[in-house]
């Protein structure tokens, strides 16, 4: 269909809204996420001490009627609804003895990577693998460890992929640095041949599904995204103009406000490289049926 005819058709069928930040800038910031892959073992050992956890039995999904400002929690010893254990508390063993461990990693930063992406491939030493998907959180707010370390001058700006490599090389400091982000995600096992799914309950489409803040942008809309995107080329990255139709399929704890978009990149090494380097201003147009 010619561009002019397509535009006229869209205008006749939809009301078109442009999303923008509520800070007066009018900007939309676009980042990327993907299905992560981390190295794990089926049992703990001297190196692999950090577990990927199933959802605890006492985890509560909150609702607005409960009058709290966190998304998940637990009833504490006083009978009060409060956020569940923090990342530091879980590292200290607060979930021990409940049989919640799915697999084990040598690096808390790798588990945090899996949690930030929301789904992933769990790769065993023999090459076999399993898959895991989001199944709840601890109710604590997300804090970007990368941003904190950049702000205090410890590290320069870098891709998220390189940042996770940096954290994984920090030895005894790694756990303490990961604990700066108190938010913790729980997982459930997924079939090996399954694909990542979003908050809307549908399978995510690489390059088309986006995560938004549903407080400002409804799930289930389609729209148009315009920006520049990184593309792996010749062992490096080039940034290209980027215009495509998308759909609001997902949410994320780091995606807050009307001017934030996270674009799903897919699975594999190229998706990891490109999604980890994606952070650019852009424009998001949303289409609502008349």
Look at residue 47 in the predicted model and tell me its pLDDT.
96
pLDDT along the chain (290 residues), means of 10: 79 88 82 97 97 98 95 96 98 97 98 97 98 97 97 96 97 97 98 94 95 94 93 85 94 91 95 94 92
Residue 223 domain-assigned (yes or no): yes
Q: Tell me the CATH number at 20.
A: 2.40.240.50
Residue 3 domain-assigned (yes or no): no
Q: Please answer whether residues 289 and 13 qualify as being in contact, where contact means their C-beta atoms are separated by less than 8 angstroms.
A: yes
Look at residue 2 in the predicted model and tell me its pLDDT.
78
Look at residue 4 in the predicted model and tell me its pLDDT.
82
Look at residue 9 in the predicted model and tell me its pLDDT.
83
Look at residue 287 in the predicted model and tell me its pLDDT.
93
Domains in the chain, number: 1
Residue 4 domain-assigned (yes or no): no
Look at residue 11 in the predicted model and tell me its pLDDT.
82
Residue 1 domain-assigned (yes or no): no
* Domain encompassing residue 151: 10-289
Residue 2 domain-assigned (yes or no): no
């Amino acid at each position: 269909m010619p561009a002019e005819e397509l535009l006229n058709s869209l205008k006749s069928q939809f009301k078109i809204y442009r999303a923008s930040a509520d800070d007066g800038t009018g900007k939309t910031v676009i980042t990327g996420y993907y299905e992560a892959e981390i190295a794990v073992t089926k049992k703990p050992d001297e190196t692999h001490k950090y577990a990927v956890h199933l959802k605890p039995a006492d985890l509560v999904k909150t609702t607005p009627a409960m009058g709290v400002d966190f998304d998940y929690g637990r009833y504490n010893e006083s009978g009060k609804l409060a956020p569940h254990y923090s990342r530091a508390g879980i590292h200290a063993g607060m979930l021990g003895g409940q049989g919640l461990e799915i697999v084990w990693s040598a690096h808390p930063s790798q588990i945090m990577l899996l949690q930030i992406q929301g789904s992933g491939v769990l790769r065993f030493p023999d090459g076999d693998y399993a898959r895991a998907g989001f199944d709840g959180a601890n109710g604590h707010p997300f804090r970007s460890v990368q941003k904190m370390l950049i702000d205090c001058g410890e590290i320069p700006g870098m891709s998220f992929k390189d940042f996770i490599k940096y954290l994984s090389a920090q030895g005894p400091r790694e756990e303490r640095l990961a604990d700066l982000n108190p938010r913790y995600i729980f997982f459930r096992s997924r079939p090996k041949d399954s694909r990542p799914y979003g908050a809307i309950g549908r399978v995510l489409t690489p390059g088309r599904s986006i995560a938004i803040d549903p407080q400002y942008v409804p799930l289930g809309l389609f729209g148009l995204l315009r920006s520049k995107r990184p593309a792996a080329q010749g062992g490096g990255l080039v940034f290209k103009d980027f215009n495509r139709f998308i759909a609001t399929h997902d949410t994320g704890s780091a995606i807050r406000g009307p001017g934030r978009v996270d674009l799903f990149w897919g699975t594999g090494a190229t998706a990891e490289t490109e999604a980890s380097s994606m952070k650019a201003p852009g424009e998001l147009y949303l289409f609502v049926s008349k």
